[in-house]
């Protein structure tokens, strides 16, 4: 445990990795035509936007994108909880 907070870069990276990981845990790589994960962290405010275009996927792609954004936020919460 340290008193040092994660850097903005660490926060963004953790969030993006979590979002992408969730998408590909639910959707086959070949079904995803486009994936865009945008993460910003400025002045302590996290903004996550996940766009998934997977027209051939059997899953609810909109729900997967929403869950990926939640996973990103959870990863950031965990990052700050570990400090």
Q: What is the mean pLDDT of the chain?
A: 94
The CATH number of the domain covering residues in 8-81:
3.30.300.100
Whole-model pTM? 0.91
C-alpha torsion angle, residues 11, 41, 12, 36 (rounded to 10) = 150
pLDDT per residue as tens digits for the range 23-50? 999 999 999 999 999 999 999 999 999 9
82 pLDDT above the threshold of 90: no
Q: Where are the domains of the chain?
A: 8-81
């Amino acid at each position: 445990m340290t008193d040092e907070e994660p850097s903005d870069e660490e926060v963004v990276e953790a969030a993006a990795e979590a979002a992408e990981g969730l998408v590909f845990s639910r959707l086959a790589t070949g079904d995803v035509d486009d994936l865009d994960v945008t993460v910003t962290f400025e002045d302590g405010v996290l903004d996550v936007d996940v766009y998934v275009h997977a027209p051939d996927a059997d899953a609810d792609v909109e729900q997967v994108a929403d869950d990926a954004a939640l996973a990103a936020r959870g990863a950031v919460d965990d990052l700050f909880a570990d400090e």
